[in-house]
Structure 1
Amino acid sequence: MKFETLAVHAGYSPEPTTKSVATPIYQTVAYAFDSAQHGADLFDLKVPGNIYTRITNPSCDALEQRVAALEGGIAALSVASGMTAITYAIQTIAEAGDNIISASTLYGGTYNLFAHTFPQQGIEVRFADARDPASFAQHIDERTKAIFCESIGNPLGNVTDIAALAEIAHSHGLPLIVDNTVPSPYLLRPIEHGADIVVHALTKYMGGHGTTLAGAIIDSGNFPWAEHKERFKRLNEPDVSYHGVVYTEALGKAAYIGRARVVPLRNTGGALSPFNAFQIMQGIETLPLRMDRICENAQALAQFLQDHPKVESVQYAGLPNHPDHELVQRQMNGKASGILSFNLKETSDDARAAGARFLDGLKLFTRLVNIGDNKSLATHPASTTHRQLNPEELALAGVSEGMVRLSIGIENIEDLKADLAQALENV
């Protein structure tokens, strides 16, 4: 089936008891076992089935199958938020004493997790230049467990050459983990370019309506964990925390996503609620339609801002003068998603004050810290999503003091242009 059909049908067909056409919301905590042996077999991963909603739930399972189908993976794990997905994606294979290599241009919450929280837990994160894949290699050592990047950086809008970074990762026996939140699988499927693990804040474009928190990890099934026994011991040796199972032997290609479910999810509890899974599935059904309109609007507004006399620069890879424009053509068929940022020309205000004055003048764009909504949104990263970064860290992340980030929605393009034009008059 093609993408648009998978978005509507993958993961669920009318179930035999009620024949419900919509995916039911299985609002239950636990599930009955057929016998004592059945319960034991479920816990030993010998048979598939449901044990407890913190680990599995039929509503969440339907969502996981749909997201895995859209990304071209073998399996997925749904969790409570995008940040939960990123945390578990790393914790599944890394522990105290290990390190990962990450692009420095990241969403502010991810940067904070990597720069401060993980090091407090003994996992070091070493930062490299997303536009220079070779810069990742110089940080790799025997305790490195993964390379991480965002397919499109938030808020900078830079596009990562996934194939080039995958080549670096695989030449060193490492998996490549890609946060694909900003383009969504409709525009870009990182697994097709060599990524091994994909993570999502389903809260954003996949849900699309700004109502529901959710995250997901998708496993390509392609990384040969069993060939790297020394580096990935937790997948290749008996797990005393889960009945001595050896994940690569019990689950084969699904060893990684299986451990993600029964170790970090089971033990720390960042589970997705069945109702939220239902809500995200509703959003996914219209993902292709929404993304086409969002990309059309974003391209037009990027050009409008670039031509405006009060705008110094626009960061949107759909523009021909953007350094990543060629990657957009090669990886995403010319569609650069709905995130763009821009800097105002120097005025008598300082940069932060100019950005604030612009934001305060908006009437249609909503001022908040979210992306991927049907509604158009605006924020000032240096004082919100990246507020915890010092000036050096802001520079490393590519965020200037006066940068304004826009998340473009599906409204009429003339109304959006008019709102930006009148807000720019306030600067």
Structure 2
Amino acid sequence: MSYNAYLVILGISASLALGFLIALLVFLVTRWYKKHAHLRKCVNERSVATLPIRSNGLGASTDFSASISSSITTQGPEHPQKNSWHSWWNHHSKEQFASLSGSGTLKYSYKDIQKATQNFTNIVGQGSFGPVYKAIMPTGGIAAVKVLASNSSQGEKEFQTEVSLLGRLHHRNLVNLVGYCVDKGQHMLVYEYMSNGSLENLLYGEEARALSWEERLEIVLDISHGIEYLHEGAVPPVIHRDLKSANILLDYSMRAKVADFGLSKEEAFDGRNSGLKGTYGYIDPAYISTSKFTMKSDIYSFGLIIFELITAIHPRQNLMEYVNLAAMSSDGIDEILDKKLVGKCNIMEVRGLAKIGHKCLHKSPRKRPSIGEVTQAILKIKQSRLAKQDTMSSVEGDFSQVLSRIGIQQVELARLASMEGD
């Protein structure tokens, strides 16, 4: 083989090697670029993408946002998160308690509470948590103070739950936590004072008042807005787990607010078996059989409250038996209507609300409506009522104008007749 032939072969080999190196370099550069472009895209999406969270309900006026990354972190099922409040309670100071309990939540000393409650003599109620006292706070405002009973082991856990939740949950249809006291071995919660007491006392107490149908419709709508905020407005969502008429409180203007979050759970822990909890008569049968409490369990309890407002029959007085009998006919609810409402309400509105209540009590949790759907259904009843009132007002206004014109014409005719007589 000639010398020129070797040169040709060597040149071809060098060209191939150079081409391979260039192709390899292009491949590596392209791969590096795509990788870093993807990383930049992920970072940008994480920084700008948000999940809009609407503060639902009648009193909602603020939009909140939670980043995707933070919402995932919050709802993660890691075991350390599950026990975070327990470890915090044991290892952190009272000052950190104040910072974690939410802005606007005040810390009171034992002496402050003792003076405000007149040495714990002004008692207004008693619950599983402990006694409740009426208090005149140092600022001059009236408050309700719940004192954890010294022998209540479950109460301490409920105390922690209430502070951790109500420190960050704020809505016009939730009872507002305004302060707390951890001092001298005592644990106390300070709430806004609800002067009209609980719905249970209004319906069944010794001083039970005759709630009008209009008031009951507003109360059920208020409750619905409060639950809607918990289920669809809070981040992460909150399951109340103990909805009942005793935990619905009313302020001076008869606005209803959901109270007592001692048994509440964030949805991140939903489905974990922690033992049956709740109040007899209000507990979802599906929860009893599965030990899994979901949002639809809250819906079931709310359905019972709806029928309490319609019938004034307590769940402990076999309310469900009456409700099941009433469900057998379209007008069955008429037979168990609260006697105080007979002849003083729109029976079609009562039947419409009862229909909503029946859906909430469906045996299958999956077939129960969401709280948002319940709220919209109740609003339709109210809007229909308001539309009828506007129509009646318009008719009455037109009729008054006609009568006024007739009166003016009669006066004018009388004046003309008088002039002709002269």
Interval containing the TM-score (normalised by the shorter chain): under 0.3
Q: Choose 1 or 2 for highest CA Rg.
A: 2
Which has a greater percent of helix?
2
Higher relative contact order (CA 8 A, sep 6+): 1
Instruction: Give the TM-score, by structure 1 length.
Output: 0.27
Instruction: Give the TM-score, by structure 2 length.
Output: 0.27
